[in-house]
Amino acid sequence: MERCLTSKTDNCKTCYKCIRSCPIKAISFENNRASIIHEDCVLCGTCYNVCPSKLKVIRNDINKVKKMLESEKVIVSLAPSFVSYYENSDIDCLSETLKKLGFAEVEETAIGATMVKKAYDEMLEEGRDILISSCCHSVNTLILKHYPECKQYLADVLSPMCAHGLNIKKRYENAKVVFIGPCIAKKDEGDRSEYIDAVLTFEELDQWLNEENIELLTTENKQKQEKSKARLFPTGGGIIRTMECSSKKHDYIVVDGMNEVIACLEDIKEGKIHNCFIEMSACEGSCINGPVVKNRHSSPARNALLVNNYAGSEDFEYSLSDTSDIRTVYDRSAIYHRQPSEEEVEAMLKKMGKEDKEDQLNCGCCGYDSCHDKAVAILKGYANIDMCLPLLMEKSRSLANNIVNNTPNGLIVLDEELNIGLINNTMCKLVGVPSPDTLINQHIASILDPSDFFEVLEGKQIFAKSEYLKEYEKYVVKTISYDRKFKVLVCVFRDITSEEENKHNHQELVKNTISITDSLLEKNMRSVHEIASLLGETTAETKVALEKLKSLVKSDE
């Protein structure tokens, strides 16, 4: 079965808002991507509502229901919070609209709520010490997974949804039951129940009606029924308001919102609470402020008034003569996780750079209440060490300072007005300034010609431009880039003075060498000519002498 709630991790922005908001920290981070820890999750929907990138996705069951409608008789169990979500409609309008989609009948889940509240009254008369309402599946799951010590106090009776589903299946042979409401957790409850065949949220219903081009019927005069008291169930304290509350041994209290529920369960576990019926809901203000209602309406008070004005003063009529049919047993095993030892936690704190108490800020930026809790989460594999924002900022500053202060290049960062926001020691040395402090907030014109900087602001690219800074007798190669997002200019100067001087000296050496070579060549050529001239004269005289000798020899013959 596909999960009811999942994360699209690929687009996660690593803002940590989901882990900060999750009341039980059922979020893990791997490769800086948030994922739901399904084994711990209670489907309260907090992460779904707070994720700024809308990456938490509720499973869509529209196609599943459409397939049912092709061959089955399908009856809707409509959550009583519908009257606040569809404030201009009533049960008649919703019934007629839903039948256009193919549903055979539409009934109110409040019928099941009437059975359930009766069972609560009976249980209290049996002498229970503490009785926790079983209507909210997120609360039930929280107890079963994380507070098994409180399981004995959870009312062993079906939720209104399942009780109504059972009632429908008894009255309609072979009928399928689809619950429609404001809750994500009900999808999981429906998956586990033999009485519910599918669950849709109000948002899914909106989507389906829109796809089919069906307008939701509305009315200005809602038809209120006197026998509809259990319509109060989705409001804070609504369960208690429908009960007889005849037990004088018990107090009747309302606890809603996950943080308050967890605090209450902690007190129960420690034995601080006795003799009471506790109406528990994961959502503040109960179901009218469910996870798929919050985005629709922003006023729980307005929603409560809508429900109050639509509820009657008497109970719904139903066919069950007693409540034994809707009793149940919660037998799912709690999930236990090995807790790291304190030695392991201390070692992890040291690795996190939180060895000293003064470093353990417990700021909550990572989503955990304390650095100790964060260390435990890392050891469990739920978090990573880089999730600490103060430590990350400190590391970033240290890294940036090391780069800025130790780079051999000059570095300047300017704002759009060309005022100096950052300058390193190398650049100060290049322009003959003793320290960066003397130049911070000064205009760049105080040390350099601003012409190129203005041109970069206007869109020109300057990359590896060679320049001679006459006033400093320095040769530099400069690159200036403009970061439009953060509205700063980053300027890097590489001092190439020694390179240029070496190049100049080399050129002078070559020039002098060529000059000397030319002079030597000229002298040599003169010498050659002089020698050649002398040789020429000597050769002529020798020839004359030899010719004379030759003539004398011939005459002697």
Residue 41 lies in a domain: yes
Residue 123 lies in a domain: yes
The last residue of one of the domains, among 375, 406, 437, is 406
User: Does residue 529 sit in helix, strand or coil?
Assistant: helix
Same domain, residue pair 21 and 65: no
Q: Is the pLDDT of residue 105 over 90?
A: yes
User: Do 132 and 144 touch, CB atoms closer than 8 A?
Assistant: no
Report the mean per-residue pLDDT for the chain.
88
Question: What is the C-alpha separation between 169 and 454, in angstroms, rounded?
Answer: 78
Residue 470 lies in a domain: yes
Half-sphere exposure at residue 27, Cβ-oriented, CA atoms within 13 angstroms: 31
Q: In this predicted structure, which of 6-10, 185-189, 256-260, 284-288 has the lowest mean pLDDT?
A: 6-10
Half-sphere exposure at residue 11, Cβ-oriented, CA atoms within 13 angstroms: 9
Highest mean pLDDT among 222-226, 331-335, 418-422: 418-422
Query: In this structure, which amino acid lies at residue 508?
Result: E
Q: Per-residue DSSP letters for 191-215? A: HH-SS-SEEEEHHHHHHHHHHTT-P
CB atoms within 10 A of CB 365: 17
Question: What is the C-alpha separation between 242 and 229, in angstroms, rounded?
Answer: 6
Summarize the chain as % helix, strand, coil (round to 5): 45, 15, 35
CB atoms within 10 A of CB 262: 18
pLDDT tens digit sequence for 189-246: 999 999 999 999 999 999 999 999 999 999 988 878 899 999 999 999 999 999 999 9
Interacting residues of 151 by C-beta distance below 8 A, sequence separation 6+: 143, 144, 330, 334
Residue 323 lies in a domain: no
Same domain, residue pair 252 and 280: yes
Highest mean pLDDT among 6-15, 270-279, 483-492: 270-279
Same domain, residue pair 104 and 247: yes
Chain position carrying tokens 């009471």: 276
Same domain, residue pair 242 and 187: yes
Same domain, residue pair 75 and 123: yes
Average pLDDT over every residue of 282-311: 85
User: Does residue 466 sit in helix, strand or coil?
Assistant: strand
Q: What local confidence, expressed as pLDDT, does residue 112 receive?
A: 95
Average pLDDT over every residue of 100-127: 95
The last residue of one of the domains, among 15, 34, 59, is 59
Average pLDDT over every residue of 4-30: 88
The last residue of one of the domains, among 369, 389, 406, is 406
Question: What is the C-alpha separation between 272 and 119, in angstroms, rounded?
Answer: 25
Q: Is the pLDDT of residue 328 over 80?
A: yes
Same domain, residue pair 165 and 280: yes
Same domain, residue pair 30 and 78: no
Q: What local confidence, expressed as pLDDT, does residue 294 receive?
A: 66
Share of the chain above pLDDT 70, in %: 90
Q: What local confidence, expressed as pLDDT, does residue 299 receive?
A: 78
Confidence of residue 256 (pLDDT cuts 50, 70, 90): very high
Residue 252 structural domain: 60-216+225-315
Average pLDDT over every residue of 251-268: 97
Residue 238 lies in a domain: yes
Q: What local confidence, expressed as pLDDT, does residue 101 receive?
A: 97
Same domain, residue pair 165 and 244: yes
Question: Which helix or strand (DSSP H or E) is residue 468 part of?
Answer: strand 462-469
**Total structural domains in the chain?**
4
Interacting residues of 337 by C-beta distance below 8 A, sequence separation 6+: 380
For 523, the token pair is 């002298």
pLDDT tens digit sequence for 43-85: 999 999 999 999 999 999 999 999 999 999 999 999 999 999 9
CATH, residue 417: 3.30.450.20
Q: What local confidence, expressed as pLDDT, does residue 160 receive?
A: 96
Average pLDDT over every residue of 355-366: 74
Between the CA of residue 331 and those of 42, 124, 515, 556, what are the distances in Å?
Answer: 16, 21, 104, 154
User: Do 377 and 383 touch, CB atoms closer than 8 A?
Assistant: yes
Same domain, residue pair 230 and 212: yes
Q: What local confidence, expressed as pLDDT, does residue 418 receive?
A: 95
Q: What local confidence, expressed as pLDDT, does residue 332 receive?
A: 52
